[in-house]
Amino acid sequence: MLQGSAQPAMEAAKTIQLVGAGAFGAVVGWYVYYINRWRKDDVQLSDIVTLLGAIGGAAVLALFPAKSDLFGAYGVGLAAGFFAYFFILVVLVNKAPGFTSAWFLDGRAPKLKDGEINTAGHAMAQPDETES
Amino acid sequence: MIVSLGAIGFGLVWGWLLGLYDVRPDKLPATIVSLSGASVLGAGATAWLGGLSAAAPFSVAALVALFVHSQWRSELRKRYRNSTNP
């Protein structure tokens, strides 16, 4: 009886662990794409190797034992977060006025209008507008 | 099963990231050696973490993602080669 009642609790813990590992992977995957998107220069080999370390480095190994389902759930979440960012970006770039898919090649963006300045992706406003 | 799916996930992300890397003709051999070495490392790490059977799904997924991403970027380059900023 006691054993029977304990079994579902273990199952629930395992499920929540899998969900947690997947969610953690999704956050890391989302952030990996975010870092890749906001890099300043062309992709270097060192960037890719650094990302490999971030994806499957020592910290991840410490959290998820090798050959465990948790490691698998982390990998699934990683891909889900990474490609979710990408697909949302595709939708937003295609919906944004003046932007085309060429943005994915070289960050090509529409010309700035009068009164707009480029502040490297942050909010745009003329400095003069805030001073009166 | 979940471990194999996780290996596929790792492979897809890794292959997609490799597709970002524009290979310069003057550095072609060194780049290929470096990226291949890094990929073998990735496959080895996945085999170590997920078992030997996880290396195959990782490799196949990485190759598929690399191919799809490279083709997509190639199509974009063809389409927007001479276009100017709107």
| B22-37 per-position pLDDT tens digit | 767 777 777 777 778 7
Answer whether residue B51 is part of any domain: yes
Q: How many domains does chain B have?
A: 1
| Contact call for B73 and A104, based on CB within 8 A | yes
| Contact call for A61 and B12, based on CB within 8 A | no
Q: How many domains does chain A have?
A: 1
pLDDT for res B65: 93
Give the global pTM: 0.78
Residues A57 and A75: their CA atoms lie apart, in Å, by 13
Contacts of residue A60, defined as CB under 8 A and 6 or more positions apart, other chains included, come to A28, A74
- Say yes or no: B57 contacts chain A, CB-CB below 8 A: no
Range of the domain at B42: 2-79
Answer whether residue B17 is part of any domain: yes
Measured between CB atoms, which of B6, B49, B77 is closest to A76? B6
| Contact call for B50 and A78, based on CB within 8 A | no
Tokens 């953690």, residue located: A24
| B26, two tokens | 């003057």
Residues A131 and A1: their CA atoms lie apart, in Å, by 75
pLDDT for res A1: 45
Residues A114 and A124: their CA atoms lie apart, in Å, by 12
Confidence tier at B86 by pLDDT (50, 70, 90): very low
SS3 content of chain B, % helix, strand, coil (to 5): 85, 0, 15
What is the count of residue pairs from A and B with beta carbons less than 8 Å apart?
114
Contact criterion met (CB below 8 Å) for A78 and A27: no
> What is the average pLDDT across B2-28?
83
pLDDT for res B77: 85
pLDDT for res A81: 95
Could you read off the pLDDT of A68-98 as tens digits, one per residue? 888 888 889 999 999 999 999 999 988 888 8
pLDDT for res A23: 93
Alpha helices in chain A (DSSP H): 2-37, 45-56, 58-63, 69-95, 103-106, 127-130
CB A47: neighbour CB atoms within 10 A?
17
Range of the domain at A12: 2-130
Answer whether residue B84 is part of any domain: no
Confidence tier at B39 by pLDDT (50, 70, 90): confident
pLDDT for res A55: 64
Answer whether residue B86 is part of any domain: no
Q: Which helix (H) or strand (E) holds A117?
A: none
Cα distances (angstroms) measured from residue B43 to each of A32, A45, A52, B59: 19, 17, 11, 7
Answer whether residue B63 is part of any domain: yes
Could you read off the pLDDT of A7-33 as tens digits, one per residue? 554 455 588 888 998 999 899 899 888
| Contact call for A56 and B8, based on CB within 8 A | no
Measure in Å the smallest separation between the Cα of A127 and chain B Cα atoms.
26
> What is the average pLDDT across A43-65?
70
Reference A68, options B49, B42, B52; nearest CA is B49
> What is the average pLDDT across B1-19?
88
> What is the average pLDDT across A87-114?
82
Answer whether residue B32 is part of any domain: yes
